[in-house]
């Protein structure tokens, strides 16, 4: 009996080990394919630049960009501009979260309030915020404040609309059951509605990050005295394509890291999403 039990445990352990290895190989295969695709693009890019199939002035090359990055990382102005852009993004995006989540949740929960504010939300959502840049600059100047306003406006609407969507996808059976047990509207809102909004709010925040980063760069390209967008403008005016690509790469890396972190948190709360009927 003991031998049979030991044998069964051994087989179970072997089976679990084999499953883990298969999962590891599958995950490693995806990572390997992604890495190879990136390397292939970089090699092709370098070849095109070296052979001057396309003028290097327009596309630079990975090696030239890497060399420019090493130089720029040693410059105090680069870190100063990065700090300015980071400050503008954090303040503008933080305000978008503080305003967007309550506005989206309440307008999705209260139909009267929804009908009052939704025409303005829909109109602003389809309006290119870049078109408002001249007005924003006149009102807030060319300093950080105008960039914060642009980031706020760019990131606000994905957050609002995802919060509204959360309210529209609530499990009505849960709400009916809560009302059957004489739960108040506040109790329903606090215990059913708010937890259901978390995955949608994280989705809105993840989408808002990309929009907010666009807002920083566009605002600084338009009119500024510091920031990554300001560096991009200077590099473009001096035909320093390699330095331009370094600026773009910095923004890309920051965006990937931030959206990746929010994506991990969003995945953790994905089970809180109401199931589709």
**pLDDT tens figures, 2-52:** 445 554 545 545 565 655 666 666 667 777 787 888 888 888 888 888 887
The size of the chain, in residues, is 277
- Residue 104 and residue 171 share a domain: yes
- Residue 83 and residue 211 share a domain: yes
In percent, the amount of the chain with pLDDT more than 70 equals 84
- Residue 171 and residue 43 share a domain: no
- Residue 216 and residue 127 share a domain: yes
- Residue 21 and residue 72 share a domain: no
- Rounded to whole angstroms, what are the CA distances from 122 to 157, 183, 196, 217? 9, 33, 23, 24
From 96, 69, 77, select the one nearest 245 (Cα to Cα): 69
- Residue 169 and residue 36 share a domain: no
Q: Look at residue 277 and tell me if it is in a domain.
A: no
Domain that holds residue 17: 2-54
pLDDT tens, residue by residue, 193-237: 777 777 788 888 888 898 888 888 888 888 777 888 888 888 888
pLDDT of residue 277: 47
Split into its structural domains, the chain has a count of: 2
- Residue 251 and residue 125 share a domain: yes
- Residue 70 and residue 38 share a domain: no
Cα–Cα distance, 53 to 57 (Å, whole number):
11
- Residue 112 and residue 31 share a domain: no
- Residue 49 and residue 78 share a domain: no
CATH of the domain at 107: 1.10.3720.10
């Amino acid at each position: 009996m003991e031998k049979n039990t030991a044998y069964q445990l051994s087989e179970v352990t072997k089976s679990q080990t084999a499953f883990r290895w298969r999962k590891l190989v599958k995950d490693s295969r995806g990572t390997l394919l992604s890495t190879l695709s990136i390397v292939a693009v970089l090699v092709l890019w370098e070849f095109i630049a070296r052979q001057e199939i396309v003028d290097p002035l327009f596309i630079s090359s990975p090696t030239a960009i890497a060399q420019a990055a090493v130089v720029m990382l040693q410059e105090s102005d680069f870190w100063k501009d990065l700090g300015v852009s980071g400050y503008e993004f954090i303040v503008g995006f933080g305000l978008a979260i503080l305003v967007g989540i309550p506005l989206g949740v309440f307008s999705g929960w209260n139909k009267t309030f929804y009908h009052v504010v939704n025409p303005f939300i829909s109109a602003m959502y389809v309006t290119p915020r870049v078109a408002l840049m001249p007005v924003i600059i006149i009102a807030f100047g060319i300093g950080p404040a105008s960039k914060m306003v642009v980031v706020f406006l760019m990131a606000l609407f994905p957050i609002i609309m995802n919060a509204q969507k959360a309210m529209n996808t609530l499990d009505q059976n849960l709400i009916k059951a809560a009302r059957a047990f004489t739960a108040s509207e506040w109790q329903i809102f606090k215990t059913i509605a708010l937890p259901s909004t978390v995955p949608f709010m994280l989705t809105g925040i993840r989408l808002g990050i990309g929009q907010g980063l666009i807002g920083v760069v566009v605002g600084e390209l338009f009119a500024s005295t510091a920031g990554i967008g300001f560096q991009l403008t200077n590099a473009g005016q001096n035909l320093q394509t390699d330095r331009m690509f370094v600026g773009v790469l910095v923004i890309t890396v920051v965006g990937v890291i931030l959206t990746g972190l929010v994506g991990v948190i969003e995945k953790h709360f994905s089970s809180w999403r109401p199931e589709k009927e």
